[in-house]
């Protein structure tokens, strides 16, 4: 994907115009998620993340949460940024079934910033799939197709 690749907005219905978005911090980037894709936001001790040496990046490990094993991906890896500090506690957004093949998976971000309506976001943010879009003030809308469909399949 190039930094200037554009596409049509993913949703055109009136419900999409009322949809809210969750804003998260990942390094200097603000990574934005439609609220319908997020089942839960939770924090865990980094020591509770078990490494997965036989899986491809950006999968970094798994954690146990609410009687489930949750595979975790790194937002830093996806956005191709360096993680400057290793915090003892990490913030995880767990995906809902609306996120398709990423359902029940989690993505590790630096922190949750809040939420915004569609009107509060830059219009170009909602019309590009670029990893580093232009004219969005370091904001990027998360795209499930950034991950391969077989991400959580055993690789070893």
Q: Which residues pair with 25 in a beta bridge?
A: 30, 111
Question: What one-character DSSP code corresponds to residue 128?
Answer: B
pLDDT per position as a tens digit, 26-51: 998 999 999 999 999 999 999 999 98
Share of the chain above pLDDT 90, in %: 44
Q: Residue 107: is its pLDDT beyond 90?
A: yes
- Could you tell me if 143 and 33 are in contact, meaning their C-beta atoms sit under 8 angstroms apart? no
Domain boundaries along the sequence of the chain: 20-143
Q: Write phi, then psi, for 14 (nearest 5 degrees).
A: -65, -30
What is the pLDDT, as a whole number, of residue 19?
87
Cα distances (Å, whole numbers) of residue 2 to 16, 73, 95, 125, 129: 26, 22, 25, 14, 9
CATH architecture of 20-143: Beta Barrel (2.40)
Query: Whole-model pTM?
Result: 0.80
For tokens 């400057």, the residue is: 84
The H or E element that residue 22 is part of is: strand 20-26
pLDDT per position as a tens digit, 145-155: 888 766 665 45
């Amino acid at each position: 994907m190039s930094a200037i690749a554009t596409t049509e907005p993913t949703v055109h219905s009136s419900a999409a115009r009322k949809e809210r978005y969750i804003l998260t911090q990942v390094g200097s980037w603000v990574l934005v998620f439609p609220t319908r894709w997020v089942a839960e936001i939770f924090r865990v001790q980094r020591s509770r993340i078990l490494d997965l040496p036989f899986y491809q990046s950006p999968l970094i490990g798994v954690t146990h949460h609410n009687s489930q094993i949750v595979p975790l991906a790194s937002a830093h890896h996806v956005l191709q940024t360096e993680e400057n500090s290793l915090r003892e506690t990490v913030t995880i957004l767990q995906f809902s079934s609306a996120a398709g093949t990423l359902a029940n998976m989690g993505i590790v971000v630096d922190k949750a910033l809040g939420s915004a309506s569609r009107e509060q976001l830059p219009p170009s943010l909602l019309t590009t799939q670029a990893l580093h879009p232009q004219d969005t003030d370091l904001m990027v809308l998360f795209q499930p197709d950034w991950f391969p469909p077989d991400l959580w399949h055993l690789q070893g």
